Amino acid sequence: MDEDQFWSIIDNSRNVAALVNRDSGTDFIQVHEQSLEDLLRQLSPTQIVEFEVQFTKLFFKAYRWDLWAAAYWLFGGCSDDGFMDFRSCLISLGKDLYYQVLDDPDVLADIVDATNVPYMQAEGFQHVASRVYREITDEDLSDYEGVGDHPSKPEGESFDHDNVELMRKRFPKLVNKYPDMG
């Protein structure tokens, strides 16, 4: 599975989820996870592994200090686990928004609170393929090459996420929208 095929599955599952009527207590990401599960169940086990390999590549590609700083500001803090959930959510938004945010993390100010955009935390989204694979094969997906070995540190240069002036210079729209961090 190439990256375009991966994004097609994400976009299709996202479009299906957008058509579902949700009650006020159901976040969009919950519905999106279900629609992605449904689509992945239609694939072969090999295709699910290939989907997860693409997901992992994109997940690692977003492991960057500037993105972590933007997430930190957006949430008023962001742990390792929180940044994993953030990156999963970023992938759930589809190819266009994913790459827009990678190109300029300040774009998050325009994306957050938009229709069908979850609160940029998608704890379960990174586990959808694993759940479906286990359901179909009774095996663990993490045993396959290309779906593990998380980088030891983020790409780029670390900087002080609590420095308001520095953050304002790097992310003017985000700091303007959330002046009190989080």
SS3 41: coil
pLDDT score of 40: 98
pLDDT tens for the 182 residues of the chain, in order? 999 999 999 999 999 998 988 887 778 888 999 999 999 999 999 999 999 999 999 999 999 999 999 999 998 889 889 999 999 999 999 999 999 999 999 999 998 877 777 677 778 899 999 999 999 999 988 777 666 677 889 999 988 888 899 999 999 999 999 998 87
Q: How far apart are CA 13 and CA 51, in angstroms?
A: 13
DSSP assignment of 114-149 equals STT---S--TTGGGHHHHHHHHHHSS-GGGSTTS--
- The 8-class DSSP code of residue 93 comes to T
Q: What is the dihedral of CA 52, 54, 58, 61, to 10 degrees?
A: 110
pLDDT score of 148: 67
pLDDT score of 141: 85
pLDDT score of 145: 67
Kindly report the pTM of this predicted structure: 0.92
pLDDT score of 118: 65
pLDDT score of 107: 95
